[in-house]
A and B are shown apart, each in its own frame.
Chain A
Amino acid sequence: MIEVRNLVKKYADHPAVDDLSFTVDRGQIYGFLGPNGAGKSTTMNIITGCLAATSGEVRIDGHDIYKDAREAKKLIGYLPEQPPLYPDMTPVEYLDFVAQAKGVGKKDRADAVYSVMEKVGILDVQNRLIRNLSKGYKQRVGMAQAILGDPKVIILDEPTVGLDPAQIVEIRGVIKSLANDHTVIFSSHILSEVSEICSRILIISHGKLVAEDTPQALESRFAVKPVLNASVKGDPTAIANALLSVQGVSDVNISEVKDDGVVDVIVTCERGVNVLESISLALLQNNCLLLRLEESRASLEDVFMELVGDPAVPQIAEPEPEQTLEVDAQALLDGSIGSAYDAHELFNTPSDADEGQTVSDPQPDDPTDDVQQEGGETDDGNL
C-alpha cells in the first residue's frame, strides 16, 4: 500500500531521516515509534507530500507522491502533529471545505461530513467556532478532517497528545474502528498505546528504521528474562531459600518486608521454563504462604530502550556503588528493611544495588518495575 524506499531528508547537513525503507500493507494499523526527534514527523510529512525528500521515493498504492501527487494524495488522510484548523470557522464549515477540496461531490458532502463528525464525536460542537473549542475537540476535528472522504491510508501524527485519559481511550477506539477498511499509520512515543492498538510496529531512531515486527514478536525477540512479582507470608530467609531451590529461578530479590510479615519478592526466571507450579509448591513445603503471584511480561519498553536508548539511559538501571551506602542509611532509619538487607547479604545475590535502588527510590527506575501491566496505562498518567 505504501512503499518507502531509501528516503533521505537533510536539514542543512544534519540528516533527519537517513536512508529509511519500509512497506506498509493494506488493512493494518502501523505504529510508528521513536523518541522525540527521531524523524517520525519528518517521515510522515514526506509520505503525505507536505515535505520533499532530499532523495528516495514514496509510493502510495503505486502512485509516486511527487510525480503523481494528485492521485496519491487522494488516497491519504493526514493529521499533522498540530491539527491544521482555521480558528474562524466552525467544524461543519471546516469539514465541508475539506470535503470539497478532497473532491467529495456536492450531494454526498453533507452526509460525509455528518458521518465523520459522528465517528469522532463532535456533533454537539459542530456549530461553535473552532477557536473556542478545547484541545481535545480540536484534535478530534483534525481527526475528522483526516478520515473524511474515506481515504485508503490514514496517517496520524501523535493523535493522542494533549488529551485527557478518557479522550485518549475514545480516540484509540476510533483508530481501532478504522482498521477494518483503512490502513492506518500513527506515530507515538507512548509504548503502551502502540502495543495496544497496532498490529505492527516500526521503531525508528535517528532517522533509521531499527526494528519492524508485530508487538508480540518484538517482545519475544528482545525480551529480557521473564519476571514474576510475588507476595509471600513467612520468614524472608526461608522464602529466599525456597525460591532459589526451584529449578528455573535464576534470581530472587526481596523488595519489601511489610509489618504484617508479608514479603514482596521479585523473582527472575530462565526463559521458556514454566516455574509457577513449582514455586507455589516449594513455598508451601517451606511453610510460606503464597498470597500473590503475577507474571510481568517483558515489555516493549525494554525492547525500545534496547533499540533506541541513548548510552546514558541503561545506566539508570545499572548498579552504582554509592547506592549500597544508601541502603545502609535506609536500613538504619527503617528497621524493617534490615531483614531484607540481611537476606541479601546471606545469599549474596549480585543484584544488591538493584534492590538498593528500589528501597531508596519510591519511584522505581528499575526496568522490571516499569513493566506495563495488562493494557498498561502507566504512561498515560503522565499526560
Chain B
Amino acid sequence: MTAIFKKELRSYFRGMIGCLFVALFLVVIGLYVYAICFANSSPHYEYAYYNCSFIFLIAVPVLTMRSIAEERRQKTDQLLYSLPVSMTQVVLGKYFAMLCVFAVPVLVSCVYPFLVHLYDPSGYLSFSAVFVAAGAFFLLGSALIAIGMFMSSLTENQIVSAVISFIAILFVYLMGQLSQMLSGTSGVTAIVFAFLILLLSLLVFFVTKSKTAGWLVFFVLEVPIIVISFLKPTLLEGLLPKVFGVLSVYERFYSFADGLVDLKSALYFVTVAVLFLVFTVQSMEKRRWS
C-alpha cells in the first residue's frame, strides 16, 4: 500500500493535476477569506469554507478522473493485478494519496485565521469554529473524492470519468435544495422513485453488462413501490424529502459551517467514503471477471 501511495503522490505533484487542484482551492478559499473577513470585516472565517464548498464540483473530478481510468488506459492495471498486493490495498493507497493532495490546501487555509486574528484583536474570531469547519470541509471532500474515484473505476476514459463524477457530485449538491422544494404527495413520490429506480437499474446494467441484473434490480425495487402506492399511499407521503435528505451529502456540511459539531454527520461522511471505496474495490475486482 505504501508503494502505491508514494507512487501516486509523486505522480500528482510531478504532473500538473496535483498543483492545479491545490491552486484552485487556495485561490477560491483566498478570495472568500478576503471578501468575508477583510472586505466585509467579518470575523466569521468559517463561512469561507461554507461559501467555497461548490468548488468540489470542479476540483474533485479533476483530482479523481485519472486515478483508475488512466491505469486501465495505459494497461498498467495488469501490473497492479499481478503484484502481490490486494485490490483493497491498491484502492486505499490511491485514495490516501488523493487525501494527501487535498490536505495541502486545507492545512494552508488553517493558517489564514491567524492572519485574520491579527486584524481582529477584539477576539470575535472563534478558532474552534474555524477548525471544526475546516475538519468538516476535509471530511466532505474525502467523501466526494471517494465518489469520484468510484466513477473513475467505471471507465477507461478520463473525460468520461470526469463528467460522470461531476454529475454525481452535482446530484448530491442539489439534493439538499430539492428535498426542501419537493412536495410529499404519494403520487409524485411514486413517480420520482420509479424514475430513480430506472436510473439505478440502468447503472447496474452499465456496470455489470448484464440485462438480467438490470431488470432484476428494476423489478425488485419497483414492484413494492407500485404495490404500496395502491394499497397504502399514506406510507409514501413525505418519504421523498426524507430520502433526498439522506442522500444530500452537502446538507450535513452546512451545519458544521455554523459551528456545530455534529458527530452523526461526521460519521455520515466517513460512511459514504467507506461505501464508495468498497464499491471501487468491487469494480476493480469485477473487471477480472469480464
Which residues of A come within 8 Å of B, CB atoms?
A: 45, 48-52, 69-71, 73-74, 76, 78, 80, 82, 84-89, 93, 97-98, 100-103, 145
Q: A86-B76, A93-B10 are in contact. Are A98 and B83 (CB under 8 A)?
A: yes
A117 to chain B, nearest CB (A): 17
Is B86 touching A84 in the complex (CB atoms < 8 A)?
no
7 contacts between A and B (CB under 8 A): A49-B81, A50-B81, A52-B288, A71-B84, A74-B84, A78-B82, A84-B77
Contact A70 B86 (CB under 8 A): yes
A residues in contact with B82, CB < 8 Å:
48-50, 73, 76, 78, 80
Q: Which residues of A contact B79 (CB under 8 A)?
A: 78, 80, 84, 98, 145
Alpha-carbon distance A71/B138, docked complex (angstroms):
37
Is B232 part of the contact surface with A, judged by Cβ < 8 Å?
Answer: no
Whether the Cβ atoms of A70 and B15 lie closer than 8 Å is no
Question: Does the CB pair A103–B75 fall under 8 Å?
Answer: no
Which chain B residues border A71 with CB–CB below 8 Å? 84
Tell me if A102 and B84 are in contact (CB < 8 A): yes
With contact pairs A76-B82, A145-B79 given, residues A88 and B11 touching in the complex (Cβ less than 8 Å): yes
Choose the segment among B1-9, B34-42, B55-63 that binds chain A (4+ C-beta atoms closer than 8 Å): B1-9
Chain B nearest Cβ from A237, distance in angstroms: 62
**B-chain residues with CB within 8 Å of residue A102 when the two chains form the complex:** 83-84
Question: Which B residues touch A78, using CB under 8 A?
Answer: 78-79, 82
User: Known contacts A52-B289, A85-B76, A145-B79: does B85 contact A101 (CB below 8 Å)?
Assistant: yes
Closest 10 pairs (CB-CB, A-B): A100-B3, A84-B79, A73-B84, A101-B3, A50-B81, A84-B76, A78-B82, A52-B288, A74-B84, A80-B78
Known: A45-B78, A89-B10, A145-B79. 19 other contacts (CB 8 A): A50-B78, A50-B81, A52-B289, A70-B84, A70-B86, A73-B84, A84-B74, A84-B77, A84-B79, A86-B7, A88-B11, A88-B14, A88-B15, A89-B11, A97-B7, A100-B3, A100-B6, A101-B4, A101-B83
B85 proximity list for chain A (CB < 8 A):
70, 101
Q: How far is the CA of A52 from the CA of B76 in the complex (A)?
A: 17
Smallest distance from the beta carbon of B290 to chain A beta carbons, Å? 8
Q: Out of B84, B86, B288, B289, name the residue touching A103 (CB < 8 Å).
A: B84
Give the contacts of B43-75 with A (CB-CB under 8 A). 74-75
Chain A neighbourhood of B76, CB < 8 A: 84-86
Q: How far is the CA of A93 from the CA of B14 in the complex (A)?
A: 12
Quote the shortest CB–CB distance from A138 to chain B (angstroms): 12
Tell me, in angstroms, the Cα distance from A73 to B11 when the chains sit together: 26
Shortest Cβ gap from B229 to chain A (Å): 38
A51 to B290, CA, bound (A): 8
Residues of B contacting A84 in the complex (Cβ-Cβ under 8 angstroms): 74-79
B residues 93-142 with Cβ under 8 Å of A? none
Contacts of A97 in B (CB 8 A): 3, 6-7
Distance A69 CA – B3 CA, assembled complex (angstroms)? 19
Q: Which of B3, B10, B74, B78 counts the most A-chain CB atoms under 10 A from its CB? A: B78
Give A101 to B7 CA distance when docked, in angstroms.
Answer: 10
A78 CA / B82 CA spacing, docked (Å): 7
Cα–Cα distance between A73 and B7 once the two chains are bound (Å): 20
Closest beta carbon of chain B to A234's beta carbon, Å: 61
Kindly list chain B residues whose C-beta atoms are within 8 Å of the C-beta of A49: 81-82, 288
Alpha-carbon separation in the docked complex, A78 to B84 (Å) = 11
The answer for the CA separation of A51 and B289 in the assembled complex, in Å, is 6
Give the residues in chain B near A69, CB-CB below 8 Å: 84, 86
**CB atoms of B288 and A51 under 8 A apart:** yes
When chains A and B are docked, how far (Å) is the Cα of A299 from the Cα of B79?
A: 36
User: With contacts A69-B86, A70-B86 known, is A82 near B75, CB below 8 A?
Assistant: yes
Q: Are B81 and A48 in contact (CB under 8 A)?
A: yes
Q: In the complex, which residue of chain A has the Cβ closest to the Cβ of B2?
A: A100
A76, A84, A86: most-surrounded residue (chain B CB, <10 A) = A84
CB-nearest residue of chain A relative to B78?
A80
Of listed A88, A101, A102, residue having the most chain B CB within 10 A: A101
- Our pick among A76, A86, A100, A145 for the contact of B74 (Cβ within 8 Å) is A86
A45 / chain B contacts, CB cutoff of 8 Å? 78
Whole-angstrom distance between the Cβ of A318 and the nearest chain B Cβ: 41
Task: Report Cα–Cα, A82/B79, bound state, in Å.
Answer: 10
- Neighbouring B residues of A80 by C-beta, 8 Å: 75, 78-79, 82
- Shortest A71–chain B CB gap in Å is 8
Complex CA–CA separation, A230 to B11 (angstroms) = 63
Q: Measured between alpha carbons, how far is A285 from B14 in the docked complex, in Å?
A: 81
Proximity bits, B273-290, A CB within 8 Å = 1, else 0: 000000000000000110
Cα A212 to Cα B45 in complex, Å, equals 74
Give every chain A residue within 8 A of B3 (Cβ-Cβ): 97-98, 100-101
Residues of chain A lying within 8 A (CB to CB) of residue B4: 101
Nearest-CB residue, chain B, relative to A54 = B289
The CA-CA distance from A302 to B28 in the complex, in Å, is 71
Complex CA distance for A251 and B261, rounded to whole angstroms: 97
Distance, CA A70 to CA B288, complexed state (A) = 16
Chain A residues, Cβ within 8 Å of B77: 84
Q: A84 CA to B289 CA in the complex, in Å?
A: 20
A145 → chain B, closest Cβ, in Å? 7
Q: Which of A71, A100, A103 has the most CB of B within 10 A?
A: A100
- Closest A residue to B15 by CB, please name it: A88
Q: Note all chain B residues with C-beta closer than 8 A to A86.
A: 7, 11, 74, 76
Expressed in whole angstroms, the minimum distance between the Cβ of A291 and any Cβ of chain B is 54
Q: Which B residues lie within 8 Å of A100 (CB)?
A: 2-3, 6
- For residue B78, which residues in chain A have a CB less than 8 angstroms away from its CB? 45, 50, 78, 80, 82, 84
CB distance from A361 to the nearest CB of B (A): 40
A76 to B7, CA, bound (A): 22
Partner of A73, one of B14, B75, B83: B83
CA distance A102 to B82 in the complex (A): 10
Alpha-carbon distance between A84 and B10 when the two chains are bound, in angstroms: 18
B69 → A minimal CB distance (Å)? 14
**CB proximity of B153 to chain A, nearest CB, Å:** 16
